[in-house]
Every structure is written in structure tokens, then in C-alpha cells.
Amino acid sequence: MTHPRGSAAKTAALSAALSGAVDLSALKARAEAPQKQPPAPPRAPAADGAVPSAPAAGGAVIEVTEATFQAEVVERSLQQLVVVDLWAEWCGPCKQLSPVLERLAAESGGAWVLAKVDVDANPRIAQLFGAQSIPTVIAIGGGQPVDAFSGALPEPEIRKWLGSLLDALRDRLPGIKAAEENGGGVEVPEDVRFTEAEDAFERGDFAAAQAAYERILDVEPANEEAKTALAQVKFTARAEAAGPDAIAKADADPADLDAQLAAADLEVAGQQPEAGFARLIAAVRRTAGDERNKAREHLVALFELFDSADERVMKARRDLASALY
């Protein structure tokens, strides 16, 4: 589940779990055994007979495999920040996130490099990080994970995340300073409309944040960042308004649909999404007509706060279909 300004509990938990807890040398033996890897196919000649050159070393975006992980990620991270993007071809959110990361890496002028990992082709890397869903993005500095997030976050939030990492690592990784001194790492102005909304959210003024995102959507109805952030603001406002006794009230009166909705919000906010999903699926089974539709729509809105590939969401969608049909 993502959240404005990257404060989603799952992101914090992922960062805490990775911080100093992952031994990236676990793949070193595999990287040092090239004879076990199938030889790379020869590149086909171009129309004029010339053989295409390999991608230039040190590019902003690199494709990483289990065999190249040690050199391209671990060793490179001793000099510059390396951001690992765990993705897969079938992952919808990955297709939203990866182009943003690639563009930001190119803009950085070498202050950091994006290392893309296809988890289907390189499952051991995903296992190494304990990634339970994708996209998952891990920042590597000095040979160790330093921070991470999961899900397709809005671009302004990713920029803030990267900026804070570069600030924290500038004195430790010489490549960051070198790139900035050579003209890289130029700050790109943020969208002030998003800044206004994010500042309001930070103050706890959810009504102002909601209004700011709605103004963006009035002008740009297809702006996915604004849509996602608006849903997250609405959820946070509901969860905070639910009250600490919302779950007890709902358990005492299963027929009170509004109580069930509030309790589900509180459970999801408390990192118990399975409980919240199950509560609303039970409400769908018990109700009919407008009440059933209200429970269903609320549940679907909660699904949208999570990565679509999250196993908990996938199971709950199956259970919802069974309840409806």
C-alpha cells in the first residue's frame, strides 16, 4: 500500500527489514562462476554489415543478472548510489514505475545508476531481498541496502526519496560529488500543485489535500499520480476518523454496515489488511442491493491502495468473486 510522502507502513517495514540485514555477497559465488552461465548469443550484424556495439559502461540504466550482480551492484555501490528495480514483464505497476526511474536516472548525470532486475529470469535476487511483491525498489550504498520502497509511487515522492538518499550518502560515495561537480544531479523543479497537496497532507489537513488533488484532476482527468494520491488521502482521513473502538463496535453489531466499513479501514491502516478484506467480504455475503454494492465498492477502493500483484489482494479478489456469484 502506497501513501503520500512515502510514509506507508509497508515501505517503512521494508526499509527496516533491509537495513543492514541483507548480505549482498550471497550471490558472489554465482557471479564468479561464469562457466555455468550459457554463452551470450553473437550480436547480429546491422544492415551495413557492422556489428552493433555493446551498451556503454557506466550508463544511467543497466540490466543486471545473477551473474553480474556482484560487479554491477555491490562493487559499483562502493562509489555511487545504485537503485535496484525489481520488475517483471507481466507487472502492470512496474510498467508505470520503471520509465519514471529510467528518466530520473538519466537526469542525475551519474549521481546514481538504475539497476533493473527481471525477477522471473533472476529469482535468486528477489529472494535475496525477501521481496514479496513487485515493483520493489532498493537503494544500495557502500555494499549494503540503505532504504527501499514497494509499489508505483508518484514521481514527486520518488524525487524526494532520491534527494534524501543523495544528501545522506554524498560524503560516503565519491561518485555522487563527482557527478554533481560535473553538472549532474541537477534538481528539476517539482510540480507546485503536488507540493501544495503534499504539504497539506503533512499538516494533517486532509480536506485541503483532497481539494488540491481534485483541482489537478479537474484539469488533467487522466493524471494517475493525482488519482492514486487522492485515494490515499481519502483513506487516511477515514481511518483517522474511525476511532479506536471502531472494530469493537463492528464486532458487536455485524448488521451495521457503516461500522463494518470503518472497522475495515482501521484494520488496513493497522497493517491487518487480511482482516479488513475478510470483514467486507463477509458483509457482501450478508447484504443485498445497495448495501451489498456499498460494501463491494469500499473493498475495491481498499484494493487500489496495494500493489495489484500483492498475494493478499489477489486472494481477496477471488473471495469477493465467490461471494458475489
Query: Hey, which residues are catalytic here?
Result: 91, 94
Within the chain, residue ranges assigned H as helices are 9-18, 28-31, 69, 92-107, 123-129, 155-169, 174-181, 192-203, 206-219, 224-242, 246-252, 257-269, 273-286, 289-303, 311-324
Contact assessment for residue 66 and residue 120, using Cβ atoms and an 8 Å cutoff? no
DSSP H or E segment with residue 115? strand 112-118
Question: Does residue 189 have a cis bond before it (omega within 30 degrees)?
Answer: no
Task: Give the burial string for 126-144 (b: 16+ CB within 10 Å, else e).
Answer: bebbebebbbbbbbbbeeb
Q: Taking each helix axis as running N to C, give the angle between helix 289-303 and helix 273-286, from 0 to 180 degrees, rounded to the nearest 10.
A: 160
Query: What's the grid cell of residue 176?
Result: 555522487
